[in-house]
Amino acid sequence: MNAPTPSSHAGQAVYTRHNLARYDTLVLRASNRWIWRCPTSRLRADYDRHVAAAHLDVGVGTGYFLDHCHFPVPRPRLTLFDLNAEALAHAAARVARHEPRTERVDVLAPIAVETEPFGSIAMNYLLHCLPGPMTYKARAFDHLIPYLAPGGVLFGATILSAGVRRSAAARRLMALYNARGIFDNVGDSLVGLRDELEARFDDVRMIVTGCVARFAVRQHSGHERPQAPTGRSA
């Protein structure tokens, strides 16, 4: 694994074994509906809509969405990228029936994992945990594009601070999470996210639900794609 960038460690450090055990209840059942105003059912629907037979999940959380989504084939080729070893182990155990491959990866640094490309890549609730402005976080897209198959879809969701409606509760909790280093999204805006996606992809679709931006994008077709390292099948 490449060494984590200096500030990329903070956002993932909160995912301890203890916190992972509480995550589905606190975040997926409570915060999504009542604080961020984006019910988890919307995110599950995005997985069902976009997930492919060969899928890469980046920033895996507890593996909830992989556990509940409907893959288009009985035996998908599934790979998990995350910087946090506890999260990787937790998610992999949850979807062990799919025999996932796991890799510790810092998406803000160049990735050298050898694998065939994927028909879908998910980045769910990852960007708001990454450090720096959106222009810096967008390095993650650059590092993942080589792993996206031609015609494949990269999708996900992120919690924003600007360009969306935030309730008083959302503002308070977001401020707390930023102060603790769990989030780093004070400057994250809808316009900033759209600009970074449109700079890299032809087909950009975004839906705002509460203070969450849900996105699905497909790659530019008119220029040469960088190639992911190959030689080992995921």
If one compares 21 and 214, the residue with the highest pLDDT of the two is 214
| pLDDT, position 170 | 98
Q: In the structure, what pLDDT confidence band is assigned to residue 116 with cuts at 50, 70 and 90?
A: very high
Q: In the structure, what pLDDT confidence band is assigned to residue 233 with cuts at 50, 70 and 90?
A: very low
In whole angstroms, give the CA distance from residue 158 to residue 196: 14
- Domain boundaries of the chain, sorted by first residue: 8-219
Task: Judge whether residue 10 has pLDDT over 60.
Answer: no
**Strands 212-219 and 118-124, bridge-based pairing:** unpaired
| pLDDT, position 3 | 46
Q: In the structure, what pLDDT confidence band is assigned to residue 14 with cuts at 50, 70 and 90?
A: low
What does each C-alpha distance from 58 to 30, 217, 234 come to in angstroms?
A: 23, 15, 14
Per-residue 3-state assignment (H helix, E strand, C coil) for 87-137: HHHHHHHHCHHHCCEEEECCCCCCCCCCCCCEEEEEEECCHHHCCCCHHHH
In whole angstroms, give the CA distance from residue 67 to residue 98: 9
Task: Judge whether residue 4 has pLDDT over 50.
Answer: no
Q: H/E element holding 204?
A: strand 201-209
Model confidence pTM above 0.85: yes
Q: What is the distance, to the nearest Å, from the Cα of residue 215 to the centroid of all Cα atoms in its chain? A: 11
CATH class of the 8-219 domain in this structure: alpha beta
